[in-house]
Amino acid sequence: MTNKPVYPKASASGASFVAASPSFPALEEAVLDYWKKDDTFQASIDNRDAGENGANEFVFNDGPPFANGLPHYGHLLTGYVKDLVARYQTQRGHKVERRFGWDTHGLPAELEAMKQLGMTDKQQIIEMGIDNFNDAARASVLKYTKEWEEYVTRQARWVDFENDYKTLNVEYMESVIWAFKQLHDKGLTYEGFRVLPYCWKDETPLSNHELRMDDDVYKERQDPSVTVAFRITDDASLAKHPEVAADLAGVEALAWTTTPWTLPTNQALAAGPEISYVVVPGAGELEGRRFLLAADLLGEYAKDLGYGEAENPADAAHEAVLATYTGTQLEGVRYAPLWGYFTDAEKFGTEKAWQILVADYVTTTDGTGLVHQAPAYGEDDQKVCEGYGIPVILSIDEGAKFLDLFADSSLADGAPLAEIAGVQIFEANRTIINTLKVDGVLIREKSYVHSYPHCWRCRTPLVYRAITSWYVRVTDFKGRMSELNEDINWIPENVKHGQFGKWVENARDWSISRNRFWGSPIPVWVSDDPNYPRTDVYGSLAELEADFGCLPLNKDGEVDLHRPYIDELTRPNPDDPTGKSTMRRVEDVLDVWFDSGSMPFAQFHYPFDNKEWFEAHYPADFIVEYIGQTRGWFYTMHILATALFDRTAFENVIAHGIVLGSDGQKMSKSLRNYPDVSEVLDRDGSDAMRWFLMSSPILRGGNLIVTEQGIREGVRQVMLPLWNVYHFFALYTNAANGGAGYEAKLVTEAEHVMDRFILGKTRQLVAEVTEAMDAYDVSAACEALRTYTDALTNWYVRRSRERFFNEDTAAFDVLYTALVTFVKMAAPLLPLTTEEIYRGLTGERSVHLTDLPSPADFKDEAELLALMETTRAVASAGSALRKAHKLRVRQPLAALTVAVAGGKDLAGTFESIIADELNIKAVELLDAAEVAPADFGISQQLKVNARAAGPRLGKQVQVAIKASKSGDWRVTEDSTVVVGADNMTLEPGEYELETVVAETDGAAERAVSVLPGGGFLVLDTTLTDELRAEGTARDAVRAIQSERKDTGLNVADRIELTITAPAADLEAIKKHEELVAGETLAVAVTYLEGAEFSATVKKA
């Protein structure tokens, strides 16, 4: 009858033993199933007291994703961070609710619905019916909720799906319209007719911040650029300098544009006030004409103006200059419109159009120094023209097609642009250019490649277009936004005053209305008769019901604030004594970013519910999203928090980098440049993925290339070593006491130096992980855990194997303590693996229901740790020396000289460790301060890599090279290389340090290494016959141990051993028979002579 193993005490899979080689994905599935049955997640919330008025609650805002697509690596990354922070704070004793949310409104939802319905434009939506289309949008946004739940669960992320919030819920939307009304009541909203980025495919404006969220919003695009001649007239009615206007009559002003399609609505030219402009006669085919352009750009146009035959066209053009003017002198000079479509001043209000204006933004960087003004299609154009009383004239419809008026010959004689009527603007460019050529005013045409904005949702090239929109007056309080930004802890820190801070400093008013269908309504009703103007704004269902006598109800009789039901609420205009006008809602819906920016309060239906709780818990403790949200969700939350509450929306924020494909490019399904998420989870497991992402620089703002090798590295570095130690512990404790096992206990102090070391390292681990996680420095926490794993596995366990074999209960207790503490500290980062190990060690319900240990739980062993770290450094350097000189570690060597700071403090215990670790018979310890490397013929040479250092240092690289050769350099305590009298620093990769051993007697029998941070080793490499014999015996031990393992013997089994080897090797082994037998547990040894070494083992 066999004894039941002590460990594992519990296992999610029900295993009765700890497997030597686990399948982490299978293990994870078992843990996930255990959590589900045990309801561990809910227990982690319930077993934490919220405290008085919720003082012990930790609040994080879970940015809502869209559920109309499957999760990708970006979602996984953010989800892992959210989960680990919540788990960590729970272990810190806080109550952490984790309510999931869904972003459901806006263009993403509409585009998906249109795709599913086979639609291409808004008119099809109107024909279908807004109610039917919005039903389709509602269904599309929740299409993948089940798949999302499966992904989120598989990544071991604990969230509350049952009580999730959706931005389409009426409670959420009511909070959104409340926010709008609050802004309106504070005078922070207005309706304006302004130029905005406009998506002609989706037929809606965008906010300026939406153009800066993703790097690929701006893409290179090739467009035609044209330089056009505008003939100046003799009309001096608007001229500030009539004499200049008179002189310029008949001269043609040259203007350049990359948007030929805007020329039909040209209404002015802009000149820079301080720029010098010249009049130059045309030559060649242009002889008899005179042209006006900036003096600095005349040379650029010399050939176009007919001077191409001259030896030096630019000089020839400058010599021909007839007159020079400043931009200020040109103000008010009038010119003839290119075409006559908008010359009816009474109809179009163009009595002041077609004049030269003065604008500070005009430069001579490119073009002609005169800028074509089309106020309907340029933000600067509109502002400048507005100051001169020049109106905005739209020439295109919502789909960016030219209006039919261009075919109207009554507006322009002969309708010269009739062909562009109904044509999309980019397709009309060629027709417009050809017409300019026929009219003789096209001076130059070139192809122009430039960075051009595209719609962040449908990737269509945008246009800038004047449109009526509602705005938030962000410019009124952006200073306060900057002040409040100082209260936010940004990770990485540079985002505060960099990407986010600078964006806030330059904030513009926010366009919050969209000419769409599926979204929260703009709660504004206006009179339909301008003779009786009135505007009403509503911020609650109660206010709506009070004025309209009812609430908007959908087909199912439910209260619904969506279109078209909200549009159906109308009432007579109270300010109209005739009773004929009606109050109707403006048709626009709110920008989806207004929805998500309202999330902190709208998810709680504030202020209608949870008012006291929300006000006591705002701002949130933590949020996380990718860096692009500095112009998106982070930004809009900050706007609304400042305007509504005069507070920040969040106290701590991680703005992580972008996950890239294996080729360093943006992830692409078509390119298949990233491993499939499901395949990785099935093959390597979620913990491997979590560790890979969390330990990378991405949480410090860097980007990350996803590779299968990188994901598996976490398994190799941490997960497998951790499991191996767990397996090792279970193996030896279960075998103790004749197989009855040993029940280990937690300890905080120890006597053995190795035990003291690992407990001291454990104290250090707890302190470092706690400090890092409190500062949201997740990768630093990962590094602390990785470093500890190395110390535990490659030092403590390896050097303590004999004690475990001898059933040293102190070693069992210490290793048990180390493992339990480690899995508690690592639980947020490896939640599945640590759960299995913790339950296997303790039998308790869950590691995620435990409190984190405190450094104070362990004795401070700082002095011992310092000595042991020096010992490890010596052992590492010595091992590298052996490897470099091809001296296997089983081959004993006679002597090692160690010169380090405080070297004599290593005498005794640490000296013995060094000797044993490096297989050295005698170790000489010296204090580095008392000896010089030169005394041992050791020196270092610095070689500066000019090619690597040159780009950074410039000419100073020669100074560095000279100093390195003269010996004028040093290495500081932090291993920085400093050269020359000016203390110039060299960076890694810019130099090489080479250790040189002088040619002295015995130099060939020495191996020398300089230690990082100071000190050196001298290894005696002389091999005597006795040393060789012991090396042979130790090689035999290794081979025999391998045979034991292959035979399947238990670690404590005694054996009968037969060794076959050449005579010389047998003699060496016999000399050290006690060593061989003791190490291999052999009770009897038989020797046979043979050509090659072999060992046969049999259980005794």
Catalytic: which of 103, 304, 684, 755? 103
- Cβ contact 454:460 at 8 Å: yes
Flag whether 1071 is marked binding.
Answer: no
- Alpha-carbon gap, residue 1089 to 802, rounded angstroms: 31
Establish whether 143 is a catalytic residue. Answer: no
Catalytic: which of 158, 510, 525, 593? 593
- Cβ contact 810:828 at 8 Å: no
- Alpha-carbon gap, residue 547 to 499, rounded angstroms: 45
With 0-12 / 13-18 / 19 or more C-beta atoms within 10 angstroms meaning exposed / middle / buried, residue 412 is buried
- Alpha-carbon gap, residue 802 to 1079, rounded angstroms: 9
- Read off the tokens for 817: 């303590």
- Cβ contact 91:852 at 8 Å: yes
Catalytic: which of 629, 717, 764, 891? 629
Q: Which strand ranges, in their side-by-side order, compose the sheet holding 620-626?
A: 489-491, 650-656, 620-626
Catalytic: which of 8, 22, 25, 64? 64
Helices (H), 885-984: 909-918, 946-953, 956-966
Amino acid at 619: P
- Alpha-carbon gap, residue 71 to 150, rounded angstroms: 10
168's CB contacts (< 8 A; 6+ apart) are 104, 105, 138, 141, 562
- Read off the tokens for 788: 């500890």
- Alpha-carbon gap, residue 393 to 374, rounded angstroms: 8
- Read off the tokens for 730: 């279970």
With 0-12 / 13-18 / 19 or more C-beta atoms within 10 angstroms meaning exposed / middle / buried, residue 497 is middle
Establish whether 969 is a catalytic residue. Answer: no
Alpha-carbon dihedral sign for residues 582, 587, 589, 590: negative
In sequence order, the β-bridge partners of residue 895 are 922
Catalytic: which of 240, 666, 859, 1071? 666
Kindly report whether the peptide bond that precedes residue 5 is cis, defined as omega within 30 degrees of 0.
no
Establish whether 64 is a catalytic residue. Answer: yes
Amino acid at 759: L
716's CB contacts (< 8 A; 6+ apart) are none
Helices (H), 235-371: 242-248, 298-301, 313-319, 327-330, 345-348
Q: Which strand ranges, in their side-by-side order, compose the sheet holding 1006-1010?
A: 920-927, 893-900, 1016-1020, 1006-1010
Residue 781 exposure: Cα atoms within 13 Å on the Cβ side: 28
- Cβ contact 838:818 at 8 Å: no
With 0-12 / 13-18 / 19 or more C-beta atoms within 10 angstroms meaning exposed / middle / buried, residue 940 is middle
Establish whether 103 is a catalytic residue. Answer: yes
Minimal CA–CA distance to 979: which of 997, 994, 991, 989?
991
- Alpha-carbon gap, residue 767 to 825, rounded angstroms: 10
- Read off the tokens for 275: 């720029």
- Read off the tokens for 1062: 């050449």
Minimal CA–CA distance to 330: which of 427, 225, 208, 245?
245
| Tokens 């807004």, located at residue | 130
- Read off the tokens for 919: 């297989």
- Read off the tokens for 518: 């599926």
Minimal CA–CA distance to 197: which of 467, 445, 533, 503?
467
- Alpha-carbon gap, residue 319 to 322, rounded angstroms: 9
- Alpha-carbon gap, residue 1059 to 56, rounded angstroms: 68
Rounded (to 5) percent helix, strand, coil in the chain: 45, 20, 35
Establish whether 593 is a catalytic residue. Answer: yes
- Read off the tokens for 461: 């090239």
Question: Per the annotation, where are the binding residues?
Answer: 669
Question: Per the annotation, where are the binding residues for ATP?
Answer: 669
Q: What are the catalytic residues?
A: 64, 103, 593, 629, 633, 666, 669
